[in-house]
Every structure is written in C-alpha cells, then in structure tokens.
C-alpha cells in the first residue's frame, strides 16, 4: 500500500552516551499515541505512523518527521499528538510552535 502521509517518530536509543536519545524520552510512547489517535479520529487519508532510527536532531527530541512535506517537529509530547494530527495531517496547517527552527 502506498501512503499519502508518513509520520516518522524517532525511537533511537543511544546506549552508553551522556546525551539522551529520543527513544529514552518517550519516542515509543509517541508512536503508540499517533497510531491510537489516527484510529480514534478516523483519519480518511492513507496515513502511517511508524518508528524511525535517528533523525539527527537529538538535542531537541523527541523528534517527529512528517512526509511528504518534510516537516520536523521537536520536543513533541504525548499531549501534542492530537493537535499535530488535527492541524497538520487533516487541515494541512503545521503546528508552528513545534517546528524545528532552521
């Protein structure tokens, strides 16, 4: 199946490092929450949320990338998931307060 929207949630775990990784700051919980909210909201788009390896911006994690737009959200919390789905996925309006600033 081809998906219209892919939601990649970093779940990388960096063992033996002083730096925290997204997997250690609830990345796996975010994947589960995205899947739950997509189902609960009955999103009509072909949308898939899945784990990803390191997205390279660990200092701002947990990190979520949404494609095809290539939008990166940082510091995402479980309570942000519904807002991201409703605003970005459904209404095509990215959540500005969570977007990685270049």
- pLDDT above 90: percentage of residues in the chain: 65
Per-domain residue ranges of the chain: 5-60+67-98
Mean pLDDT, rounded, for 15-22: 74
Does the structure show a pLDDT above 70 at 23?
Answer: yes
pLDDT tens digits, residue range 56-83? 887 888 999 999 999 999 999 999 999 9
Task: Name the 3-class secondary structure at 64.
Answer: strand
Q: Where are the alpha helices (DSSP H) in 1-102?
A: 27-40, 81-83
CB 27 within 8 A of CB 51: yes
pTM above 0.85, yes or no: yes
Span 5-60+67-98 CATH architecture: 3-Layer(aba) Sandwich (3.40)
pLDDT tens digits, residue range 34-55? 999 999 998 878 999 999 998 8
């Amino acid at each position: 199946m081809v998906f219209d929207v892919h939601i990649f949630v970093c779940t990388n775990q960096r063992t033996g490092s002083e730096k925290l990784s997204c997997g250690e700051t609830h990345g796996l919980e975010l994947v589960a929450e995205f899947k739950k909210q997509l189902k609960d909201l009955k999103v009509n788009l072909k949308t898939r949320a899945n784990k990803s390896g390191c997205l390279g911006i660990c200092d701002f994690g947990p990190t979520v990338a949404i494609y095809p737009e290539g939008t990166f959200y940082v510091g995402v919390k479980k309570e942000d998931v519904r807002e991201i789905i409703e605003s970005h996925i459904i209404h095509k309006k990215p959540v500005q307060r969570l977007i990685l600033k270049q």
